[in-house]
């Protein structure tokens, strides 16, 4: 087999959801946008639903359609982007709940689907999505009698617990929503970890479910094993890969493994990452190319058939640090060429 194997541990996923749920006394939903953060929304969400999750969040109505087809009629599926032009039939036919972000969306929804459930998103300082305080003040007495399923906002800096933006947004959210009857939600993964003041009636963990920061105690969910295509001896002074960027400083044994930036292994990681044979670290050498990566296995003492890039020794955030990015990008970039295996039990 010439393609890498991405193993998704669904038991670890459920353990992470339960751990985050146990931190709160409110309901815990699950965010499965971007195809379940790259791990397969249908399999991920079905497993979560079978373990008690009843509310899911996606980014767009099209994602909601696919999720509804996978989960059936029972769970609530909310759409962060709200009710966009052209979404009406999908929202109605698939029983989706848009999180309305603007006065225009509120008007569109009420005129097109007056009996369809909806939520409202408020902007508490992130300046990304949601009604600003003045807009909310103008429409809240018209919106609240229609019984929104949720009134929510999103934290900009929850992954930095001491950031002053967190209490600022919390205060703004309370000022805009205290006293309303509708359920409220402010916290995703980072917000859950900030403490009970941020939990309200519903939390919406996303990246923490999949083993990402800021949930430090998360169980790894994704493991990536990459097959070795060829192994060769490289003499001292010879180079490996494009641009002669790695020169052997000693007689070396080099493996070429079958994955690259076309598979979401970002070229910017360079040589700041390693792969593993069991517990033994092997350094990535040369440039990461489209389909192949060079690895120094000189000290391994044997020629492996497969090496592990992602798993218990190296998290998505370790890879992200090497590439100067975040774990979200690593997860959602995991390639479609991988053979995907789902592990349960």
CATH number at residue 264: 2.40.37.10
242 and 206 housed in the same domain: no
21 and 138 housed in the same domain: yes
Position 1 in a domain: no
- What pLDDT was estimated at residue 132? 97
Per-residue pLDDT of the chain (345 residues; tens, 9 = 90+): 678 999 999 999 999 999 999 999 999 999 999 999 999 999 999 999 999 999 999 999 999 999 999 999 999 999 999 999 999 999 999 999 999 999 999 999 999 999 999 999 999 999 999 999 999 999 999 999 999 999 999 999 999 999 999 999 999 999 999 999 999 999 999 999 999 999 999 999 999 999 999 999 999 999 999 999 999 999 999 999 999 999 999 999 999 999 999 999 999 998 889 999 999 999 999 999 999 999 999 999 899 999 999 998 999 999 999 999 999 999 999 988 999 999 987
183 and 327 housed in the same domain: no
Domain boundary among 210, 234, 269: 210
- What pLDDT was estimated at residue 1? 62
Query: What backbone phi and psi angles, to 5 degrees, belong to 165?
Result: -65, -30
What is the rounded CA–CA span in Å between residue 241 and residue 238?
10
96: DSSP letter: E
Tell me which of 55, 210, 242, 338 is the catalytic residue: 242
What is the rounded CA–CA span in Å between residue 85 and residue 61?
11
Total structural domains in the chain? Answer: 2
57 and 159 housed in the same domain: yes
137 and 14 housed in the same domain: yes
Position 31 in a domain: yes
291 lies in which domain range? 222-343
Position 4 in a domain: no
33 has catalytic annotation: yes
Angle subtended at Cα 331 by Cα 330 and Cα 334, rounded to the nearest 5 degrees: 85
Domain boundary among 157, 178, 210: 210
Beta-bridge partner residues of 271: none
175 and 227 housed in the same domain: no
Alpha helices in 39-132 (DSSP H): 41-50, 61-71, 88-94, 103-112
Classified as helix, coil or strand, 199 is: coil
205 and 244 housed in the same domain: no
Position 217 in a domain: no
Dihedral sign computed on CA atoms, order 344, 42, 51, 74? negative
Tell me which of 33, 55, 210, 261 is the catalytic residue: 33
Position 215 in a domain: no
pTM of the model: 0.94
The answer to whether 142 and 103 are in contact (CB under 8 A) is: no
190 and 42 housed in the same domain: yes
- What pLDDT was estimated at residue 246? 95
């Amino acid at each position: 087999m010439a393609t890498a194997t991405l193993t998704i541990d669904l038991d670890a996923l459920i353990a992470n959801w339960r751990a985050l749920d146990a931190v709160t006394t409110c309901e815990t939903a699950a965010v499965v946008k971007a195809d379940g953060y790259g791990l397969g929304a249908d399999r991920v969400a079905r497993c979560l639903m079978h373990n008690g999750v009843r509310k899911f969040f996606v980014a767009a109505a099209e994602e909601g359609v696919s999720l509804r087809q996978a989960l059936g009629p029972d769970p609530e599926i909310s759409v962060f982007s709200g009710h966009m032009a052209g979404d009406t039939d999908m929202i109605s036919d698939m029983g989706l709940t848009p999180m309305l972000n603007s006065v225009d969306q509120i008007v569109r929804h009420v005129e097109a689907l007056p009996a369809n459930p909806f939520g409202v998103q408020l902007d508490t300082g992130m300046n990304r999505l949601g009604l600003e305080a003045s807009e909310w003040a103008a429409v809240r007495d018209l919106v609240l009698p229609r019984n929104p399923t949720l009134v929510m906002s999103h934290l900009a800096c929850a992954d930095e617990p001491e950031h002053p933006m967190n209490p600022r947004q919390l205060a703004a959210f309370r000022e805009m929503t205290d006293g309303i009857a509708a359920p409220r939600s402010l916290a995703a993964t980072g917000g859950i970890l900030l403490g009970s003041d941020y939990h309200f009636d519903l939390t919406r963990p996303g990246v923490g479910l999949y083993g990402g920061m800021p949930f430090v105690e998360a169980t790894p969910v994704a493991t990536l094993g990459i097959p070795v295509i060829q192994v060769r001896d490289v003499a001292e002074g010879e180079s490996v890969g494009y641009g002669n960027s790695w020169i052997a400083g000693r007689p070396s044994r080099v493996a070429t493994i079958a994955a690259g930036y076309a598979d979401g292994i970002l070229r910017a990681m360079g040589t700041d990452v390693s792969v593993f044979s069991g517990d033994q670290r092997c350094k990535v050498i040369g440039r990461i190319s489209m389909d192949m990566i060079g690895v120094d296995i000189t000290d391994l003492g044997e020629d492996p058939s497969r090496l592990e890039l992602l798993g218990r020794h190296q998290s998505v955030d370790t890879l992200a640090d090497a590439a100067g990015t975040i774990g979200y990008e690593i997860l959602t970039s995991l390639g479609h060429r991988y053979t995907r295996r789902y592990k349960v039990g």
